Amino acid sequence: MKYYGDLRSFITALDEMGDIMHVQREVDGDFEPSAITRRSYEIQSPAPLFHKVAGVAPGFRLFGAPAALSSRSDMPYARVAMSLGLAPESSGPEIIEALSAARFKPGIPPVRVESAQAECQQNILRGDAANLDRFPIPFAHDKDGGRYANTWGTLIVKNPDGKWVNWSIARVMKVDGKRMVGLIVPSQHIGQIWTQWVARGEPMPYALVQGPAPAISCVSGIPIPANADEADYIGTLAGEPVPVVKAISLDLDVPATAEIVIEGHVSIERDCQEGPYGEYGGYLGEGSSAQPTFHVETITHRDDPIWPMSITGRPTDESHTLWAMGLAADALTYLREAELPIKTTWIPEDSTVHWLLVVMPENWRELLPGVSSEELAQRIGEVLFKTDAMVFIPKVYVVDDDFDPTNLREVVWALSTRVHPVGRRAVFEDQRVIRLPQCYDEAEYVAGKGAKVVFDTLQTKRHLHASFAQGYPEEVRQRILDNWPE
């Protein structure tokens, strides 16, 4: 295992395993980088690195699909695993176990370095020079409300008393060279902190960090408990403290090895229109909403900086790999804390974060004596639907462990043959609903309430599969394997 302390060493490692596509010809500054990145997701190609973008200074680069499925079929989750310091061949459930286990370990706080040691401050831009127009920020989709200046960067904010520092990912749209507008959801951690600044009547200081160490981007995009510092959690995953440096114009620490850091303040009013944007559900966006303005005051960057981007849409992009794994790890943590004997949890990439599979071991009835599968489904829903992360997931399936939950073909087979048409489900009415999941109607979005469901697909008796693995004697299978492909 190896931890990559900056984006460049991570890209080099991917390149050495054949998972980088170098785009050397000049691409336009509008749609071409995003369209190439989107196609790379859909055909599972190497991650595109754009070396020449029209309209920006030579040396400024774009990097797409940083945590999508790998082009290496033998290690599909390599980009996510390597981002987190895990072996590239790690399976999805192994990554989820690592994310959950780190929640129970002491955090390793970041360590501050001097500005002279911080690559992110090799170039310092102030005043009029601190302008977004100098960077290669393309349109993500042709129906979007503008160029999205943040799709894979980390927003750093802290509450007014300085006791809670939050690192997170939220979409932020470029308005012009000196302004952005970002989606701030009140229930999310950045929204909770912004609300505290609004109550004081003061604009919220922020730093938008592009291209930090890959683990920082990944952890910024997954749920961890409120008032916990992502930097400490990243240190635990890495086994070493994150090097940070004081921002140039703000009382915030930022990752020292980042590619680009944008500093400024967020307005106390929702005074600018944001959106639409094509989101993880796989549909182009419609409509916009009033959101706070992010004013750009100072920018620092490395020489020849790299701007990473995630172009969300139909599977499979970072929303369906890293974010889904983070949500599954959050669910696994809470279910185990409730003393339920869960084997693993998994969100199939192709469900676009609309399904969660809760996998039970074969002996779960021995571990929960007297509990029926219907009662288990009810308890699982009672635990999960109280958590913040489950606001995104409307459907939970409680399944046996006799198939591979990461294999979509096996998932479709198991669910289609085990979900009862009308019964064996626990329905939870009037649960929190936000607009990002695609399955509710307009009245439910307006009310912020809707139903969620836990499907009980557990078998009373395990049935053998009509498969190569279970349908033939072991000696026959071994003889066939020894002589394959004759």
Q: 381 near 362, Cβ under 8 Å?
A: no
The answer for residues whose C-beta is within 8 angstroms of residue 297's C-beta and 6 or more apart is 126, 130, 249, 263, 264, 265
Laid out side by side, the sheet with 111-112 consists of 111-112, 243-246, 253-255
- Residue 279 appears among annotated catalytic residues: yes
Tell me the CA end-to-end span of the chain in Å, nearest whole number: 38
Distances (CA, A) of 356 to 102, 326, 343, 420, 482: 21, 12, 14, 17, 38
For 107-139, b/e burial (b = at least 16 CB within 10 A) is bbebeeeeeeebbbbeebbeeeebebebbbbbb
Strands of 135-229, DSSP E? 148-150, 154-158, 165-168, 172-176, 179-182, 204-210
Q: Could you give the CA distance from residue 461 to residue 458 in angstroms, rounded to a whole number?
A: 9
Q: Are strands 165-168 and 395-400 parallel, antiparallel or unpaired?
A: unpaired
Check: CB of residue 414 under 8 Å from CB of residue 457. yes
Judging by beta carbons within 10 Å of its beta carbon (0-12, 13-18, 19+), is residue 465 exposed, middle or buried?
A: middle
Angle at 57 between CA 52 and CA 63, to 5 degrees: 45
Cβ atoms of 327 and 222 closer than 8 Å? yes
Strand partners, 447: none
User: Which of these is catalytic: 279, 297, 318, 349?
Assistant: 279
CA–CA distance, 453 with 86 (Å, rounded to integer)? 34
- State the catalytic residues: 279
